Amino acid sequence: MKNIIFIAAPGAGKGTQSQMLQEKYGFDHVSTGDLIREEIANETEIGLKVKDLIRQGLLVNDDIIFDMLKNKLVQFKESKGIIIDGFPRTKEQALRFDELFGQSDNKIDYVIYIDIDQVEAMKRVLGRMTCSACGSIYNEYYDSIHEMGKCNACGGELKRRSDDNEESFNKRFHVYLDETYPLIDYYKKQNKLYTIQATNDKEEVFHAIEGIINGE
Ligand code: ADP
């Protein structure tokens, strides 16, 4: 099993790299952010409860996150590897996950810290667009989009996230620095931490991740 998590600021590219890993290695993927956005889109009880919080860039309650995550993990059978994207975001979440899954097939094997500076991260977040049909992620500053507002891969409509604005980004970045960044130390002590630079070449970043999980 090659289970992977990322420590990465918003915009560092964990969603993009997760998609690439899924495609090439057939790994299973769960994104806590996507699970929450699904709840919001479906206007479920949870969705309605967390909608404003997400827009403001604040974190969702741990019990909600763990319920959603556990429901998803049990669906993965005979996995080659699981990418958990957007989680853990705090020391409490990391500890609780290790308590629950530290001895199981879901335990974390690789922690990939994607290093990016705040200015670059903000540019990426403000330029981000996601296909509402197939989930492909684009950036209007870096990717050539063949037809305005349409996905290159499937023609679906490209949409921006409600929290991809400057104010929410700044909040999320600070929550990241305060709550998530300290996890580097936690995983360093477990000998699971690998650091890569978030260059603007997503193939290059992918190559670095492949090197890590293939032990090169
Ligand atoms: P990004 O990394 O670009 O901020 P995500 O899609 O990972 O985006 O998350 C979007 C939002 O969902 C976060 O700002 C937060 O409100 C919520 N969220 C996602 N994962 C978690 C988590 N593990 N714990 C608490 N809140 C979360």
Q: Would you please indicate which residues are annotated as catalytic (active-site) residues?
A: 14, 89, 128, 161, 172
On whether the CB atoms of residues 6 and 118 are closer than 8 A, the answer is: no
On whether the CB atoms of residues 112 and 5 are closer than 8 A, the answer is: yes
- List all residues 6 or more positions away from 108 whose beta carbon is below 8 Å from its beta carbon: 3, 4, 5, 84, 97, 98, 101, 187, 192
| Residue 193 parent element (H or E) | strand 193-197
From the alpha carbon of 85, which atom of ligand 1 is closest?
A: 7
Q: How many Å apart are CA 145 and CA 86, to the nearest integer?
A: 26
> How far from 156 is each of 18, 60, 113, 136, CA to CA, in Å?
20, 29, 32, 10
Q: Which tokens is 206 given?
A: 């992918």
Q: Is the CB of 54 under 6 A from ligand 1?
A: yes
Q: Is the CB of 65 under 6 A from ligand 1?
A: yes
Q: Which parts of the chain have pLDDT scores under 70?
A: none
Q: Is the CB of 86 under 6 A from ligand 1?
A: yes
CA atoms within 13 A on the CB side of 204: 7
Model pLDDT for residues 11-70, shown as the tens digit of each residue: 999 999 999 999 999 999 999 999 999 999 999 999 999 999 999 999 999 999 999 999
Mean pLDDT of the chain: 95
